Structure formats: C-alpha cells, structure tokens
Amino acid sequence: MDLMYGGCSAMSWTSEDGKHFFGRNFDFNRFADGSGVVFLPQGTPVCAFVREGETHGEAYPAKYASLGMGTLAIPGAPVLYDGMNEAGLAGGQLYFRGFARYGHIPRRGTAPVQAGLALPYILSQCATCEEAACELMSGVTVVNEPLYGAVPPLHWCFSDRTGETIVAEPCEGGMRVHRDTVGVMTNSPDYGWHESNLLNYAHLRSQDYAGLTVCGKEFGQCFSGSGALGIPGDWSSPSRFVRLCFLKEHAVRGRGEEEGVTNLFRLFASAAFPLGAVRVSDFSDVTEHDKEVLPFDYTVYTSAACLESLRYYWTSHENLRVQFADLRDFAGVREPRLIGIGARPDFLRRT
C-alpha cells in the first residue's frame, strides 16, 4: 500500500536545557488520501496483522496513547508514518528499498506483524528504546505479508527520553537492531554502511580553513564555509546521511524547546527535496488511497516531536508555518481522531 512508502530522513536532537526531540522529512511523490495528524488514545485496538480480504485483524489494546502523522483510512488498522507516545518514545518508518528482508512465517514464540503496521504497534506497546528493541527482536516477526496489495520495504528509527536512538532493520536471519547510533537515519543501504561511510568525510569541520601559500604567493580567505568543502550536496540517501550527521555534530542546539524545534526544522531543510529536483524513475503502484501523484519525489512534510512536552510539530510542502498538536490536550478523548495538517499557504501580513 503506497501510503507507507517514501524516501525520508530522520534524526534525534537535544536542546541545551535537556529536552529530547525526534524529527523527520517525509519524501515521496504523493500524500495518501485521508492522511493527517492521528491521535490514538490508550486502549485503542491497534492491529499488527490484517489478512488480505479481511477488514479487521488481530489487535492489541494500546498501553500508551500516541500522536503522529498517519491515516485512519484502513478500517480497524491505524497507520502511523512517524509519531510519539505518552511515555516519551518516538519513531518513524523509512523506505528501505532493495534491502528489507521479512520472514515468511513468524518465528516460534513471536506474533506476526506486517511492515506497515509495525510502527503504531511498537508505539502502542513500548515505553523506551530498550523495550522497542526487545519487542522487535524477540516479541514479533515482521512477515512478508501484503497489506492491501503491497509489502513496503521499511526500516525503523526510534528515540526516547534517555537520548538513545536505535535503528531496526529487517535482514536475512531476522531483525537487526543497531544500538549506540549517531542518531541519524535515511534510506538504503543499511545503517552499518552509512556509519562506515562517514570515514570518507573525516576532513569536514565547521571551522573555515585559513589562507594558503602557493609558489610563494599568499592567498587570504575570500569566502566562508571552507571547512565543509566536499560535503555531498545531492539528495541521495548516503549524501543526506552525511549532511545531517555533520549538522548534528556542529549546529547550535537552542536553549529550550522553541529554539530547539526551530533549529531542527532548519537542519531538515538542508536535506529536503525541492519540488522538481528529484524526478521519479520508478513509480510504485497507485492505489485507491493515493491522490495527486506527481512525477517528482518532494518533501511532503517535516515533523518534530518533543519527548518531554509531548508536542508534535509539523510543516507541509505547501505551508511552512510551524503548527503543533499537544498530546496532553487529548486527555479524556476515548476515540481515535484525525487532525488536518493545514496544507494551504499561510502568510502572516505585517503592517
């Protein structure tokens, strides 16, 4: 089901006052009909597996309320592309084309979960990265079972209030969970390859290089940014990973939540797909849930969740004004709710 595909970049972030954030760019050539900010209250039946042709599958009552971008379009099976829960665990699913390997049957002692339903299941059941890692490795098996006609190739990134960020990747032989990560993830290849690739950019630094002397002639500095000469500027997954790692290492964090969120959105802008710059060469199937399919991948939305305040912030391609929903505002709400993302240009006139 194409509403679960996409490119994407994800990253964790921390402000100077100790607040933790998780954010992502969602890069694809469409936004599924019925998508928006989804609230799932505690106790919501969250499906992990729905057989083809059925409208409801095996569901688990949510231990934790959650809030994030997703859809309620699949009856009985809420989907999240990214989000957080009330315990302070956040996560996102990212496209893992060519590398995702799922089991054909559940491993003994585990429950089956479809790739597109794994994120809402984990956020509904787990409070920390530790719990998420244990559940993905020994509690469930992500199975090679289509959900409404497709098996999306995905991997997942999670972050919690301890500051840990993990990357979970379905590989031959089972789920591989990377601990002690740099807190950045994009798309294929696998996380280990991306981490090793950073060694190719050991010369990058935030400090400008001084002038130089060539054949007895001295040349002074004439521009800023020379410390990052050679940083890749394209929109491929390896290049976005390197750029975001460089920025996470060197960018100013912000003193509190407002500055931290603002700075994080700025960092994601450096990895965003401008509309028209990335022409799609391989269209995935268009389903009844898709709308306005474009010939370009572009950054459909950017989100950032604060794991202490439980605020979920976002911008869309059409509307760059930062909006947010507060998970605490839904106390007492007993049914899932879909909030529109306000995807129209919104300019503030000053006089």
State the DSSP H helix or E strand holding residue 28, giving kind and residue range, or none if neither.
strand 20-28
Query: How far is C-alpha 320 from the geometric centre of its chain's CA atoms?
Result: 18
CA 333/CA 40 separation, integer angstroms = 9
For residue 125, give the 3-state DSSP assignment. Answer: helix
Nearest to 34 by CA among 77, 64, 65: 77
Phi-psi region of 178 (alpha: psi -120 to 50; beta: other; left: phi over 0): beta
Structure tokens at 315: 């911008």
Q: Is the dihedral of CA 146, 149, 151, 154 positive or negative?
A: negative
CA dihedral for 15, 21, 25, 31, sign (positive or negative): negative
Whole-number Å distance between alpha carbons of 125 and 120:
9
Which H helix or E strand runs over 269?
helix 257-269
Measure the CA–CA gap between 182 and 127, rounded to whole angstroms: 21
Query: Where are the strands (E) in 148-295, listed by range?
Result: 154-159, 165-171, 174-178, 184-185, 212-214, 217-219, 278-279
Active-site hit among 8, 47, 157, 306 = 8
CA distance 309 to 348: 26
Is 129 annotated in the active site?
no
* C-beta neighbour count of 231 within 10 angstroms: 16
Q: What angle do CA 59, 286, 290 make, to 5 degrees?
A: 65
Coil, strand, or helix at residue 102? Answer: coil
C-alpha to C-alpha distance for 95 and 156, rounded to whole angstroms: 9
Q: Give the angle subtended at the CA of 292 by the CAs of 287 and 296, to the nearest 5°.
A: 100
Q: What is the C-alpha R_g of the chain?
A: 21
Which residues participate in catalysis according to the annotation? 8
